[in-house]
Structure 1
Amino acid sequence: MSEKETTNNTAHVEANAAAALENLGIKTVTHADGTISTAAGNGQVATDAYGNPLVTFDDAAVRRLRWKLDLYTVPTVALLYLFCFIDRANIGNARIAGMEQDLQLEGFDYNVILSVFYISYIIFEIPCNIFCKWIGPGWFIPGTSLAFGLISIFTAFVQTQAQMSAIRFLLGIFEAGMLPGIAYYLSRWYQRAELTFRLSLYMVMAPLAGAFGGLLASAILTMDSFGSLTSWRMIFAVEGVITVGLAIIGFFTLTDRPETARWLSQEEKELCIARVKSERVGATEVLDKLDRTKLWRGMTCPVTLQISVIFLFNNITVQGLAFFLPTIVRTIYPEYTVVQQQLHSVPPYAVGAFFVLAFPALSWYLDRRQVLIALSAPMVMAGYIMFLASNVAQVRYAATFLIASSTMVLGPMGNAHISANVVSDSARSSAIGLNVMMGNIGGLVATWSFIVWDAPDYPIGNGLNLAAATVILIVSTSFYFWMKWDNKRRDGRSVEEELAGMSQKEVSNLDWKHPGFRWRT
């Protein structure tokens, strides 16, 4: 083939590719040398200097793409997170199934064991999420799942409090990257409004873990033995084996990023990338290299700091509910059998699961998050007021439904809100990592919120949780008005003047400080 024929053939192929992309609504640019580029390509921006998208998309093509993404990305991470939460919270089920007596736990021993988990969890939160970006979520998420599944199995063989504390410390290391890692992973595929609901599809597994974990623990306890193991030890072993199996499957089913997705056509890959970039002012690529400036931008973003504070106080309630709901149910219905008590912990979580999906679905429809975050607090406050004001079993049990219905929605809402308000991939990895780290400081506080001598009504624990929900309402409401004010202030800035003389890298490093950026409420 002659050089002229080769050139003509290349131009013909590029023209066909351009036509296919134009059919999806992705604009193409033909350069002076005849080459064709799109907003999805590296080095190409998909917004103007004011953050307005330069691309439009075909609605039918977007729906087909979104359906594919939902089928290929969400189910695996959702199942892995379900057993991540089960492997963490099953200690609450094991406690009332004989663990305290077998390990001779007294006084604050149980609280100490819970605290040890959170020490490692907090320390490794940000490093794990940065490591997740470095090696890729497709390897990190199933790899760390395999590790904490094995740790759960090992837990079945502990004989002393010291051994239990050591194994829980290791569990904290390997679970640290799961919640932020999955949130960061999904942010590579979806636009901001869609992301909130997709995060809820895996984070709904937290309340479902409470419901399903109680059912599973009840079923396991009806077995005579599992190998040489009996009673509470079977809970850890059986659930750990299931986790290991799911992690192995995850190595084959998770895909790192749109470019490597074998189940997407080239046009769909381009569409996926262009859609994500069309919401990120100044971004020239979806997956940037690790960059210290952008990592710092993510952690110092005002929205990140605000949501991190909210998530800290929120996790006091979420983790307290996970670890102590079986104990609370036991104080309400002391005459019930252990299996009956386990089963009574299921309905509040089922109601919570519904709202974990309902709030983000509303957020997707409205493309709003900050107001809905504020609206989650009053029901939690009402629930703890009922705990403090009444000793009637039915009233206190009803309060658990109010609390579960609201407190768990802030996981997907908060991480999606952060993702919508930072620009680069590096910034999102550090921002989400910081948020979850702060949340787990709240989890550490939660391990001491219900202490032995405060039983059976736990006025201190309930009062602490009421105060936490009140802080969430005040902070989220105040910050909503700050975001509105700052956006008006930004409207008065001259984008062209501020960006004059800057290189593309310098513009990219601005992230949320870009003069054309506006906070997404």
Structure 2
Amino acid sequence: MASLGTTEQPAPASPAYSLDGEKAGASSGAGSDAEDTRTFRQPNGETLTYTAAEERALLRKVDWLLLPILTALYLLSFLDRSNIGNAKVEGIERDIRITNYPLVVTMFFIGYVIFEIPANLVLKVVSARSPAWWLAFLTIAWGAISIAMGFSQNQPQILAIRFLLGMFESGLFPGCVYIFSRWYTRQERVARVSFFFSAAAAAGSLGGILAYAITRMDGIGGQEGWRWLFQLEGALTVVFGVIAIWAIPAWPAYTRGLTEREKSIVFARLSIDSDATEDQKFEWSAVTDALKDVHVWLYAFLFHGAAFSLYTLSIFLPAIIQGLGYRSYQVQLLTIPPYFFAFLCTMACTWASRRVGLRAPFIIGALSLTILGYIVLITSPTVGGKYTAVFLAAAGIYAANALLLAWPSENIMGQTKRAVGLAAMITIGNIGSIIGTNLYRVPLGTIPNHAYRYSQVFTIGWLLFAIGCASTLWVLLSRANRRLDREEAARRESGEADKAGAEAWRLGWRYQC
């Protein structure tokens, strides 16, 4: 895997300072060799010097350690939560007499919301040396539950199973984002989190391929095709959960995947950049601090608005395409291209955001593209027009979520506060999923809601709300950066900015807008 890179425009700020007071990325001397050298004073008083080439090689190594296994786990989590949509077009409602399909979908998100924050706190408390065992346990558990869904016989059983599935999946995404914050600098995290999240779009394409192939097993062993879908995909998840025990690395100070020098360089990079290397113990005051931070709530409500569309589209897309007049096997195949297009657009949008060094305008633009897709889906009189609209909606919503889910990890300081903030964001966000899945009903109360037309109008409303949250954050963070610029200038005049010590990295810190 090629490294996702370190070169991008940073957040507006004065230059970051290493702990010995020198500019990060330079040392005494002249010429290009000097400019490619980093110098860092370690806690034991010794000086660590490393080159930019060493840093790039280390980053590629860390990418290989983390991204393949964590991305695979998230792909499987998205596959296992959304394959209920593929099962719908294969007749699960008829076979086990489901009378309230939106409630079946919703039960996953209820479990997810309830256990989101506790699961992330458990990661912080029990994973002192490594997060591997906790994430592997979650993966094996939800894989086993997904298998059990293939044996369900009635609606009460599948409701309970979907709740448990959400409970065990709730700790994966915020846990992985927290892991990234312990390995990567702020500017590097957005590309990694976005690549990680792009697995959701990849899961859509892979889900269509697997659903088409597996549901052809209909009748084998006396089982319906949708049962094989849950059982085989769940078994695959269990296998990867076992692999994760050994594949997920320990925290940088304890991992066997790095040499002692490489561990020192990781420590140096993060010490210069943020609080990731500080030994911060869990404190309830950090929890309350997160819950009192207006930025945390804006991130949460931003995801709330976006998650409404993200999960209703990913779960109901097969039904939307089936409503265009296609047969079930055609539907499974026709879900593949929109998700693949969304994957490409997500990566392109992430690359552009990193090059420009901004997040908010790209999130707003992607959400606007999603709204355009829904408008075309509602108004187009042709099957081709509606199918094209699905491409626009999928591309916009996956690109927006990839950026907005990475955004708070760049800006929330304090390890426990960051973990709680991310968990709160996912919790509030998935309340949007609960509302959304219950508004995708036919009929919607007394409204016929043909082809989910009125549901899609509600989706546009939630997306506009998300755009409002992103715009507010943009304004508030920009204002905060201007205040930090003024404080920085005052410190420089007093000579405080030249001091050495553990607080030096904070002097050039700015919010990523």
TM-score (norm 1): 0.84
User: Separation in 2 of the partners of 1:131 and 1:340?
Assistant: 43
Determine if the alignment matches structure 1 residue 27 to structure 2 residue 40: yes
TM-aligned CA deviation for residue 284 of structure 1: 8.2
Q: Secondary structure at the match of 2:313?
A: helix
Superposed CA deviations along residues 255-277 of structure 1, whole A, max 9, x for unmatched, are 13111121111111111122122
TM-aligned CA deviation for residue 368 of structure 1: 2.2
Q: Secondary structure at the match of 2:113?
A: helix
TM-aligned CA deviation for residue 301 of structure 1: 3.4
TM-aligned CA deviation for residue 430 of structure 1: 0.8
**Structure 1's 226 and 257: CA in aligned 2 closer, same or farther, altered over 3 A?**
farther
- Alignment partner, residue 370 of structure 1: 360
**Structure 1's 133 and 412: CA in aligned 2 closer, same or farther, altered over 3 A?**
farther
Q: Secondary structure at the match of 1:27?
A: strand
Q: Mean Cα displacement is larger for which, 404-413 or 362-371?
A: 362-371
User: Separation in 2 of the partners of 1:226 and 1:69?
Assistant: 44
- Alignment partner, residue 323 of structure 2: 331
- Alignment partner, residue 405 of structure 2: 415
Determine if the alignment matches structure 1 residue 78 to structure 2 residue 71: yes
Q: Among residues 101, 106, 114, which one is paired with 1:115 in the alignment?
A: 106
User: Separation in 2 of the partners of 1:344 and 1:325?
Assistant: 10
Q: Among residues 386, 392, 406, which one is paired with 1:396 in the alignment?
A: 386
Superposed CA deviations along residues 112-147 of structure 1, whole A, max 9, x for unmatched, are 111221111101111111111222222221110000
- Alignment partner, residue 80 of structure 2: 87
TM-aligned CA deviation for residue 409 of structure 1: 2.1
Aligned pairs for 1:284-323 within 5 A = 285-323=277-315
Aligned pairs for 1:36-51 within 5 A = 36-37=45-46
CA contact 2:36–2:52 (8 Å) conserved in 1: no
- Alignment partner, residue 480 of structure 1: 474
CA contact 1:331–1:456 (8 Å) conserved in 2: no
- Alignment partner, residue 444 of structure 1: 434
User: Separation in 2 of the partners of 1:400 and 1:57?
Assistant: 49
Query: Given residue 398 of structure 2, which amino acid in structure 1 is its aligned partner?
Result: M
Query: Given residue 59 of structure 1, which amino acid in structure 2 is its aligned partner?
Result: A
- Alignment partner, residue 152 of structure 2: 158
The alignment covers a number of residue pairs equal to: 464
Query: Given residue 360 of structure 2, which amino acid in structure 1 is its aligned partner?
Result: Q
Q: Secondary structure at the match of 2:91?
A: helix
CA contact 1:193–1:365 (8 Å) conserved in 2: no
**Structure 1's 225 and 269: CA in aligned 2 closer, same or farther, altered over 3 A?**
farther
Q: Secondary structure at the match of 2:323?
A: helix
User: Separation in 2 of the partners of 1:148 and 1:181?
Assistant: 15
- Alignment partner, residue 18 of structure 1: none
User: Separation in 2 of the partners of 1:286 and 1:400?
Assistant: 45
- Alignment partner, residue 65 of structure 1: 58
- Alignment partner, residue 346 of structure 1: 336
Query: Given residue 127 of structure 1, which amino acid in structure 2 is its aligned partner?
Result: P
- Alignment partner, residue 53 of structure 1: none
TM-aligned CA deviation for residue 385 of structure 1: 1.1
Q: Secondary structure at the match of 1:124?
A: helix
Q: Among residues 147, 159, 167, which one is paired with 2:141 in the alignment?
A: 147
Superposed CA deviations along residues 314-373 of structure 1, whole A, max 9, x for unmatched, are 0110000111000000111x2x32111111111111111112222222233333222222
User: Separation in 2 of the partners of 1:291 and 1:495?
Assistant: 30
TM-aligned CA deviation for residue 150 of structure 1: 0.1
Q: Among residues 170, 175, 178, which one is paired with 1:176 in the alignment?
A: 170
Q: Among residues 238, 245, 266, which one is paired with 1:251 in the alignment?
A: 245
Instruction: List runs of 5+ in structure 2 lacking aligned partners.
Output: 1-34
Superposed CA deviations along residues 50-93 of structure 1, whole A, max 9, x for unmatched, are xxxxxx96221111011001111110011111111111001011
User: Separation in 2 of the partners of 1:221 and 1:235?
Assistant: 6
User: Separation in 2 of the partners of 1:347 and 1:214?
Assistant: 9
TM-aligned CA deviation for residue 36 of structure 1: 2.5
Superposed CA deviations along residues 16-62 of structure 1, whole A, max 9, x for unmatched, are xxxxxx996232369xxxx63469xxxxxxxxxxxxxxxx9622111
Query: Given residue 307 of structure 1, which amino acid in structure 2 is its aligned partner?
Result: Y
User: Separation in 2 of the partners of 1:266 and 1:427?
Assistant: 29
**Structure 1's 495 and 436: CA in aligned 2 closer, same or farther, altered over 3 A?**
farther
RMSD of aligned C-alpha atoms? 2.5
Query: Given residue 45 of structure 2, which amino acid in structure 1 is its aligned partner?
Result: I
Query: Given residue 355 of structure 2, which amino acid in structure 1 is its aligned partner?
Result: Y
Q: Secondary structure at the match of 1:26?
A: strand
Query: Given residue 469 of structure 2, which amino acid in structure 1 is its aligned partner?
Result: V
User: Separation in 2 of the partners of 1:256 and 1:284?
Assistant: 15
**Structure 1's 427 and 346: CA in aligned 2 closer, same or farther, altered over 3 A?**
same
Determine if the alignment matches structure 1 residue 131 to structure 2 residue 122: yes
Query: Given residue 413 of structure 2, which amino acid in structure 1 is its aligned partner?
Result: V
Aligned pairs for 1:94-109 within 5 A = 94-106=87-99, 109=100
- Alignment partner, residue 357 of structure 1: 347
User: Separation in 2 of the partners of 1:114 and 1:248?
Assistant: 27
User: Separation in 2 of the partners of 1:389 and 1:230?
Assistant: 36
CA contact 1:359–1:372 (8 Å) conserved in 2: yes
Query: Given residue 126 of structure 2, which amino acid in structure 1 is its aligned partner?
Result: I
How high is the sequence identity, in percent, across the aligned residues?
A: 29
Query: Given residue 404 of structure 2, which amino acid in structure 1 is its aligned partner?
Result: G
User: Separation in 1 of the partners of 2:472 and 2:329?
Assistant: 45
Query: Given residue 120 of structure 2, which amino acid in structure 1 is its aligned partner?
Result: N
User: Separation in 1 of the partners of 2:315 and 2:366?
Assistant: 21
**Structure 1's 440 and 36: CA in aligned 2 closer, same or farther, altered over 3 A?**
same
Superposed CA deviations along residues 389-444 of structure 1, whole A, max 9, x for unmatched, are 22321111111100111101233312321111122221221111111111111111
CA contact 1:125–1:434 (8 Å) conserved in 2: yes
Query: Given residue 313 of structure 1, which amino acid in structure 2 is its aligned partner?
Result: G
User: Separation in 1 of the partners of 2:263 and 2:222?
Assistant: 50
Q: Secondary structure at the match of 2:416?
A: helix
Q: Secondary structure at the match of 2:352?
A: helix
CA contact 1:188–1:286 (8 Å) conserved in 2: no
Superposed CA deviations along residues 160-182 of structure 1, whole A, max 9, x for unmatched, are 10011011111111011111111
User: Separation in 2 of the partners of 1:223 and 1:381?
Assistant: 38
Q: Among residues 256, 267, 272, which one is paired with 2:266 in the alignment?
A: 272
Bigger Rg, which one: 1
Query: Given residue 80 of structure 1, which amino acid in structure 2 is its aligned partner?
Result: L
Q: Secondary structure at the match of 2:286?
A: helix
